[in-house]
Structure 1
Amino acid sequence: MARTPADLLADALRRDAAAPLLTDYDDATGDRVELSGTTLANWVAKTANLLQDEFDVGPGSTVALALPVHWQTAAVLLAAWSCGAAVLDTATEDDGRLAEADVVLAAQDRLAPLEEQEPAELLGLSLHPLGMGMAGYAGPARDFALEVRAHGDFFAPYQPPDPADPGLLAGGVELALGDLVGTAQGLADRLGLRPGDRVLVDAGTAAEAGPVAWLLAPLAAGASLVLCRNPDPARLLQRAAAERVTATLGVQIEGIRELGRPA
């Protein structure tokens, strides 16, 4: 049976729902957030309910993201795919395609140029480590953190996602929901990801590689993630030990295998 990204999260919950699934560091601010499979799934469910109930997101919808690599971005991606929607992932602030989406979710510091495009629906994310709302913002965007809290902890799509429907639009490439899973599994094999791996991922590399590489491939392999934004090289060896890292993506740490590099 063809599968979708929502199935990869379900697999992680069946393996060990209480174990850390995504740990997020920002060395510029000193923030650290750890999410178990259960906690990430809760954020995904709340976000999917928000998208479905408030914005009628479902199969045939397009959800555009103007977000960095972040634990909240992971939740938004998985939520959109749980609804059966296509994700338009863009790294440019002035990409006119964002205005064509049914819903745009953007980091607070990227809202100003997007407001000028007058998208159908615009949600702003503070990306606060504890999920708090936007501070000092008075524009038209709705505050994701405030909106999402009101929604349920479990999600059931009105219409089950169709693996043949569009799942990701990025860089001129379109992948169906089912193809996202197959591509993630193939990439996991090529990178050398293993079940149970704890993968430290450089956010800069992740942003260039895209969500199939930094999010779906580890999930497909049965691995967990340690995302590092603005990594301080002096902290990485100790962090790898503390987080029991077994592999890295986009960064070299002595004694730990680097994914995609010959052994």
Structure 2
Amino acid sequence: METALPVRSVTGLAERDRPLITCLDHRTGVRQDLTAAELGEWSARVAGLLRDGCGLTPGSRVAVLLPPHWRTAAVLLGAWSVGMTVSFRPWATAGLSVLEPGGDRPYDGVLVTPERLDDWLEDVPEGLHRYLVGTGPEPLAEVPAGWLDWSVEVLRHGAAPTDRPMLHAGDAASPDGTSYAEWGSVAKVVAEQLDLRVGDRLLVDVTEHDQPLKWLLAPLSAGASVVLCTNLDPEHRDAVVAAEQITRVL
């Protein structure tokens, strides 16, 4: 049964003539564009890393503490595409634990940005698959012992097939038991609330909106593209809207 999550939605957008996800730092001017085809390729490599590199299986638990970014999109879509149960923690969350709330089962893998590494260093047991995911175009200059640079490791693995019979719409996509189908339904509702339509281009201030339901799943379910803007200057927002051909602002 095919999942209702927009894991495969990137395929239908692959022929678009503009980026599916644009990451723009308004302060530094650094820009990263990713087409739908490229996002699909990276997502498949993430699936290969988790399945073949880490030996994880459908139902394995993966914790993600990353800001809105194309790499975060690839991690989430790749993990979901091979049946992982993903716990996405908001970027502002502190005091994290590798144990589920009220439970005693640790995660099987953790992906965290270097800026939030201190939240995990004292609480990560031996044997856990640990990856640092930077948001810059270059590999990380320094990686602590026991951690791996995601940008290097993900390239060691080929794409994992995502159309597998073990992936079902009723499986848990998140640790609270929310299924793939339920997340997909909520994403469509949010897209309707945001009035997102096919061909729309959504501007997202990443400091205000870090939940992937709004900046990733809802736009994908509607067939919209996204501009993720860091350090967005409110006084120059109209200029960004015009330059990026924005049709909706979150």
Q: What's 1:105 paired with?
A: 111
Give the drift of 1:247: 0.8
Q: Distance in 2 between matches of 1:118 and 1:2?
A: 31
Q: Distance in 1 between matches of 2:191 and 2:214?
A: 8
Q: What's 2:103 paired with?
A: none
Pair 1:197–1:41, CA change in 2 (3 A): same
Structure with the larger helix share: 1
Structure with the larger strand share: 1
Q: What's 2:10 paired with?
A: 9
Q: What's 2:24 paired with?
A: 25
Give the TM-score normalised by structure 2. Answer: 0.88
Q: Distance in 2 between matches of 1:98 and 1:246?
A: 41
Structure 2 unmatched runs, 5+: 101-105
Pair 1:30–1:224, CA change in 2 (3 A): same
Residue 139 in structure 1 maps to residue 140 in structure 2: no
Give the drift of 1:41: 1.1
Pair 1:37–1:224, CA change in 2 (3 A): same
Q: What's 2:187 paired with?
A: 184
Query: Which residue of 196, 199, 204 maps to 2:202?
Result: 199
Structure 1 unmatched runs, 5+: 250-263
Residue 58 in structure 1 maps to residue 61 in structure 2: no
Give the drift of 1:65: 0.6
Q: Is the 8 A contact 1:59 1:159 kept in 2?
A: no
Q: Is the 8 A contact 1:115 1:140 kept in 2?
A: no
Give the drift of 1:39: 1.2
Counterpart residue identity of residue 75, structure 1: A
Q: What's 1:38 paired with?
A: 37
SS at match of 1:105: strand
Counterpart residue identity of residue 178, structure 2: L
Give the TM-score normalised by structure 1. Answer: 0.84
Residue 229 in structure 1 maps to residue 211 in structure 2: no
Q: Distance in 2 between matches of 1:39 and 1:181?
A: 22
Q: What's 2:155 paired with?
A: 149
Residue 163 in structure 1 maps to residue 163 in structure 2: no
Pair 1:3–1:239, CA change in 2 (3 A): same
Alignment length, in residue pairs? 239
Q: Distance in 2 between matches of 1:89 and 1:155?
A: 22
Percent identity of paired positions between Structure 1 and Structure 2: 36
The higher-RCO structure (CA 8 Å, 6+ apart) is 2
Counterpart residue identity of residue 5, structure 1: P
Q: Is the 8 A contact 2:63 2:109 kept in 1?
A: yes
